[in-house]
Amino acid sequence: MKSLTDYYTLHNGVTIPCVGFGTWQTPNDEVGITSVKTALDVGYRHIDTAAIYGNEVSVGKAIKASNIPREEIFITSKLWNDDHGYEATLRAFEESLKRLDTDYLDLYLIHWPNPPKFRDKWEEVNSATWKAMEELYEAGKIKAIGVSNFRPHHLEAIMAQAKIVPMVNQIRLCPGDLQEETVEFCRKHNILLEAYSPLGTGKVFDIPQMQFFEQKYGKSIAQICLRWSLERGYLPLPKSVTPSRIEANADIFDFQLEERDVEDIANLTGACGFGGDPDLKTF
């Protein structure tokens, strides 16, 4: 990967820019619009949002204000937990399109596999949800479909009934939180791994070993983490509303990590904590 517009190719042939601009916790106001517009100005062409983030409107406004042709920007959104099921998925998708002010999505994900509302029948409901997403995909309203926070047993349940294997699984991947079983399963089935919280929700900045690498490479800890993510074959989704950090997070293509350092960073087990069990989430 040599630039923000280099890409991974999904198993259906769709290309996806190798770094995405995350918008979790980004407000739905001028701050949100400005941050996404700044990211696009810096060179990002991949914007990741979700219905539950509450900022799809500002993401859409920023994309319009950028004057960049829609087809040059890869937009991801996600289906929230209350809207699982066939009919609810179709409605929620259309609502996301309206908020984003676009007529198609590049990627649509099931945000979580097993919300409490459907916990006693999550497999059945996920299959109905996936059927709706397959239909939207086949109708050309979504270029690619996938999931988020799914572990192997969730993926197996979807795939047992699916016509289309998920193209993406967006999970928490950062130094010391590798989700190795899920990563191995996804790679076996050619499912691209997107890394949310690639900086360990900020915990990575307190790790002494990362401070050593910062000195060694002359790069910030954030830049080292994002480069590490790419070298592991993930697609990182850094998030910021600070213009200088948005720009710095894009400056990760003029250096490489030594293979030993990639392994050492991977082996910082638990240093950034771990993502919780999706089967036990209370939302």
Q: How confident is the model at residue 272 (pLDDT cuts 50, 70, 90)?
A: very high
How much of the chain, in percent, has pLDDT values that exceed 70? Answer: 100
Q: H/E/C letters for each residue in 143-184?
A: CCEEEECCCHHHHHHHHHHCCCCCCEEEEECECCECCHHHHH
**Prediction pTM value:** 0.97
Query: What is the bridge-based pairing of β-strands 107-110 and 74-79?
Result: parallel
* Residue that the structure tokens 């967006």 belong to: 170
pLDDT of residue 197: 96
3-class secondary structure, 120: helix
Task: State the average pLDDT over residues 22-30.
Answer: 97
> Tell me: the pLDDT tens digits for 53-89?
999 999 999 999 999 999 999 999 999 999 999 999 9
Q: How confident is the model at residue 92 (pLDDT cuts 50, 70, 90)?
A: very high
* Residue that the structure tokens 């066939």 belong to: 86
pLDDT of residue 24: 96
Amino acid at the residue 173: L
Query: Residue 105 has what DSSP assignment?
Result: B
> Tell me: the pLDDT tens digits for 125-183?
999 999 999 999 999 999 999 999 999 999 999 999 999 999 999 999 999 999 999 99
pLDDT of residue 49: 98
**Of the listed 7, 8, 53, 196, which one is catalytic?**
53
Mean pLDDT of the chain: 97
Which pair of structure tokens corresponds to residue 75?
A: 């937009």
The number of residues in the chain equals 283
pLDDT of residue 260: 98
Count of beta carbons in the 10 Å neighbourhood of residue 133: 27
Edge-to-edge strands, sheet with 192-196? 21-22, 46-48, 74-79, 107-110, 145-148, 168-172, 192-196, 235-236
CA–CA separation, 207 and 138 (whole Å): 46
Q: Catalytic: 196?
A: no
